[in-house]
Copies of this chain bind each other. A is one copy, B any other.
Amino acid sequence: MKTLTINTPSCQSTIYCGNGAFAERTALLKGKNLFIVTDSNVYRLYKSHISGAFGDCPAYILPAGERSKNYNQLLKILSAMLKAGVTRSSTVVALGGGVVGDIAGLAASLYMRGVNLVQIPTTLLAQVDSSVGGKTAVDFQGVKNIIGAFYQPSEVIVDPLFLRTLPRREIRCGLGEIIKYGALDKNIYASLCKNARSLFSEDFFEGITYDCIAHKAAVVCADERDTGGKRKTLNLGHTTGHAFELYYKRKSHGEFVLIGMYYEIFIAKRLERCENNYADSLISLIKRVIKNIPAYDDAGKAAEFAKYDKKNTQTSLISLIAPAREDESVEITLPAQEYCALIAECARKLKEKT
């Protein structure tokens, strides 16, 4: 088990990563005042692990799925915490994927102005990305993550145990974020290239988890509150990914990140902001994870939704983070109209190829 510590102005957060982390760390939590938040999938699959680790603690079980990430469920969790007599000295345990981590983290930050929080991510995406760094949120009135808080967990327990039951689609989503880290970090990029033919093997994605977390931890230490500094780079692929997510809805966040990266790398190449070979190499990695990049008919229209990304404070300009060369990303800011035209062009080119 490896450990890693994030020190931010507001607190300290320790990440325990590796085989056995769940058993070892939860043994230390047993007997404390715990309140578990999980979802119906995780509960069904890991019932015996949960009762073994936590006994019969009070718990709230979210309906599985992205749609649970709303303020109604948030209030239900807070209400259940109140009923269970959660106090200031209690600990909220968020056991699940990104949705559970985001909503339980926000509940923990709000209850009595903040109680202790432990994140136990159970999906590859949550392990490499969303459980680390303290971003919590719910969606509201159709806008993603519009209500939220920065709230660091005291610890994050990352155990590959949970990855073995993940469907291939969930692995794909996690690989999306891993490729994003590859586009920001040359060591992760080298691992990806070396293992290009076996990205879906357990050995590969379990091994790379720690490196991704270490990259994110360093970024969060430098810019916890995402105020225009380094943390922005983690948004690579997300401007377009989020826009498509708002417009098309059907796929999951990780898949849209993969698609968003593809479209944004196209723009970076087209504007000569990214080395050609490097762009092609990243694109070939993306295509190993998601074979068919959708050639959306109305991609230009969907791209308009990038205006609603909270990073874009001026709606006439769109900013995105694209890879430039190994270990280096670049912020590209362009008029919304030009951005939408380039996205539409990328979709046309994709269509021609098929």
A residues lining the B interface (CB < 8 Å): 9-10, 71, 75, 78-79, 82, 85, 87-89, 109-114, 135-137, 140-141, 143, 145-150, 225-226, 310-313, 315
Instruction: Say whether A78 contacts B114, CB under 8 Å.
Output: no
- Chain B residue numbers with a CB within 8 Å of A114 are 149-150, 225
Flag if A111 contacts B146 (CB, 8 Å).
yes
A225–B78 Cα gap in the complex (Å)?
A: 20
Contact, CB under 8 Å: B148 / A135: no
Cβ contact within 8 Å between B87 and A147: no
Q: What is the CA–CA distance of A199 and B145 in the complex, to the nearest angstrom?
A: 48
Of the A-B pairs whose beta carbons lie under 8 Å apart in the complex, a sample of 22, sorted by A's number, is A9-B9, A9-B10, A10-B10, A75-B140, A78-B140, A78-B147, A79-B140, A82-B141, A82-B143, A87-B313, A88-B310, A88-B311, A89-B313, A109-B149, A110-B147, A110-B149, A112-B310, A113-B135, A113-B137, A113-B145, A114-B149, A114-B225
Question: Would you call A140 and B310 a contact (CB within 8 A)?
Answer: no
- Shortest Cβ distance from A138 into chain B, in angstroms? 9
- Tell whether, in the assembled complex, residue B149 and residue A149 are in contact, meaning their CB atoms are under 8 Å apart: yes
Residue of B with least CB distance to A115 = B310
What CA separation (Å) do A225 and B312 show in the bound complex? 31
Tell me the minimal C-beta distance from A84 to chain B in angstroms.
13
Q: Report the bound CA distance from A32 to B145 in whole Å.
A: 24
CB A13 to nearest CB in B, in angstroms, measures 14
Beyond A113-B145, A113-B150, list 9 extra A-B contacts (CB 8 Å).
A9-B9, A88-B310, A89-B313, A110-B147, A111-B147, A112-B148, A113-B136, A113-B226, A114-B225
What separation, in Å, do the CA atoms of A226 and B114 have in the docked complex? 11
Chain B, Cβ-Cβ closest to A228: B88
Q: Would A112 and B146 be within 8 Å (CB), given that A78-B140, A313-B89 are in contact?
A: yes
Chain B residue at minimal CB-CB distance from A79 = B141
Smallest CB separation, A227 vs chain B (Å): 9
Q: Chain B residues near A75: list those with CB within 8 A.
A: 71, 140
Could you tell me if A148 and B113 are in contact, using CB atoms closer than 8 angstroms?
yes
**In whole angstroms, what is the CA distance A319 to B85 when docked?**
18
B79 touches A148 (CB 8 A): no
Minimal beta-carbon separation of A222 from chain B (angstroms): 16
Return A76 CB to nearest CB of chain B, in Å: 11
Complex CA gap A226/B88 in Å reads 11
Q: Which 7 A-B pairs have the closest CB atoms?
A: A87-B313, A89-B313, A113-B148, A112-B310, A9-B9, A110-B147, A10-B10
Residues of B within 8 A of A310 (CB): 87-88, 112
Q: Among A112, A143, A311, which residue has the most Cβ atoms of chain B within 10 A?
A: A112
Q: Which residue of the partner chain B has the closest CB to A113? A: B148
A106 CA to B140 CA, complexed, in Å: 16
Which residues of the other chain, B, contact A225 by a CB distance below 8 angstroms?
Answer: 113-114
Chain B residues whose CB sits within 8 angstroms of the CB of A71 once the complex forms = 75
Q: Which residues of B contact A10 (CB under 8 A)?
A: 9-10
Bound: A146/B75 CA distance, A: 12
